[in-house]
Amino acid sequence: MTIILGVVILGILLLYFFINPSSSAYFPKCPFLTTTGYYCTGCGSQRALHDLLHLNLIGVARHNILFIPAFLLIAYHWARNYTPLKNKKTLPDLIYHPKTPLVLFILIALFTILRNVNIYPFTHLAPG
């Protein structure tokens, strides 16, 4: 199962590396944006992934600024739980706290609301 998941993830990464979602009709459009006209939390993430794979951090931030901390959080979680250390200990517990889900929920909700406000400087939060 792990090998299949790894092959699927590698295939997706290769697809996003070689094909730019900005100029391709093959990638799905955001159903929330299409239905409501408002940006969701993930709007711009496909283009941000393409930019990240090309190491274009400014492009990632322009498309979805929340993509960078989310990527780092996922990388930390993966490294903490799946990377073996020499002495069989795990990495320090930096982000796992009882209030972490609440803080993340508030940050994501604020980001989603503010990226739809058409007033400077919030217009920079909308996907570029």
**pLDDT band, residue 81 (cuts 50/70/90):** confident
On whether the pTM is more than 0.75, the answer is yes
How many residues in total does the chain contain?
Answer: 128
| pLDDT score of 2 | 74
Among 108, 106, 114, which residue's Cα sits nearest to residue 42?
108
Statement: residue 9 has pLDDT above 70: yes
State what percent of residues in the chain have pLDDT above 70: 92
**pLDDT band, residue 26 (cuts 50/70/90):** confident
Per the CB < 8 A criterion, the answer to whether 40 and 30 are in contact is yes
- The mean pLDDT of the chain is 87
